[in-house]
Amino acid sequence: TEPALEVPLAAARCTLLEVRGQEPSDRLLRAQELEDRLGKEVARHFLSGNRDALACTLESAALAFLKDGASEKALELASSAVAHFRQLGALKRVGVVLDIIANAHLEILRGLEGAGGGR
């Protein structure tokens, strides 16, 4: 992980770890808190025009959601991050985020297979 990503990624992981051990209703509330925080951070970077920080925030959050098993949310965030990194010409970061997208797709497929969707 690059130094610029370590702080937001660590914060997202800590928040998700707090959510994991809680009752289902508490997990839902904490997940909503995480989404609210993410929304505020994204809005702050968007309004400031800091596209690099915005893309890094989306990437960090996507990875954190993927590690917590929220693959569809991870896919959504990572897709946004790819678009921003492409606009910035940050091809290495595009590659890293495409890996997150691939893993999110893989987890979604595994979930479908586990639910009887795959034969």
Per-residue pLDDT tens for 7-55?
444 445 444 544 455 555 565 556 677 778 888 888 889 889 999 999 9
Token duo for residue 50:
């800091």
**Sign of the C-alpha dihedral computed for residues 92, 96, 97 and 101 taken in this order:** positive
Which strand (E) or helix (H) includes residue 8? helix 3-20
Let me know if residue 63 belongs to a domain: yes
| Residue at token pair 């951070």 | 41
Q: How many domains does the chain have?
A: 1
Q: How far is CA 43 from CA 39, 54, 71, 90, in A?
A: 6, 8, 22, 21
- pLDDT band per the 50, 70, 90 thresholds, residue 95: very high
Range of the domain at 70: 3-114
- pLDDT band per the 50, 70, 90 thresholds, residue 105: very high
Let me know if residue 32 belongs to a domain: yes
Mean pLDDT of 65-80: 91
b/e for 68-98, b at 16 or more Cβ within 10 A? bebbebbbbbbbbbbebbeeeebeebbebbe
Amino acid at residue number 102: A
- DSSP one-letter string for 94-110: HHHHHHHHHHHHHHHHH
Let me know if residue 119 belongs to a domain: no
- pLDDT band per the 50, 70, 90 thresholds, residue 116: confident
Residue 4, pLDDT above cutoff 60: no
The Cα–Cα gap between 112 and 107 comes to 9
